[in-house]
């Protein structure tokens, strides 16, 4: 077991992860499930409305482009809107808000 706020530094050796917020587990899953479930897409301004239609759970700006975070969204369709990747396994890398809510398919402990 490893506890850290810098998950991205040890992400490559993890088999499972859990996020705890205010003493509650808000996300607990295998790294494989995490990588399959979440997708970040860097979207050009002309594709932003189409990407937002897929209901991202978070949005942030980097170098004039929007990076949207999706939970269980269709990767193939979102890939047509911009470059997609698995987000870092750290809520602080993307936004503390994306791990603040229990996932759709799992209850918080």
- How far apart are alpha carbons 16 and 60 in whole angstroms? 26
- The answer to which of 34-48, 59-73, 77-91, 94-108 has the lowest mean pLDDT is 94-108
pLDDT tens per residue across span 33-71 = 988 888 888 998 899 999 999 999 999 998 878 999 999
pLDDT number for residue 59 = 92
- How far apart are alpha carbons 61 and 25 in whole angstroms? 28
User: How distant, in Å, are the alpha carbons of 52, 81, 98 from that of 89?
Assistant: 22, 23, 11
C-alpha dihedral sign at 95, 25, 102, 31: positive
Residue 80 has pLDDT above 70, yes or no: yes
């Amino acid at each position: 077991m490893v506890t850290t706020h810098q998950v991205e530094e040890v992400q490559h050796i993890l088999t499972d992860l859990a996020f705890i917020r205010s003493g509650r587990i808000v996300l607990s899953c295998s790294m494989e499930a995490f990588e399959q479930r979440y997708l970040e897409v860097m979207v050009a301004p002309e594709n932003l409305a189409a990407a937002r239609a897929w209901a991202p759970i978070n949005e942030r700006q980097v170098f004039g482009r929007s990076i949207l975070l999706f939970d269980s969204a269709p990767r193939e369709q979102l890939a047509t809107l911009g470059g997609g990747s698995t987000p870092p396994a750290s809520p602080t890398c993307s936004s503390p808000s994306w791990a603040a809510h229990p996932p759709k398919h799992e209850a918080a402990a």
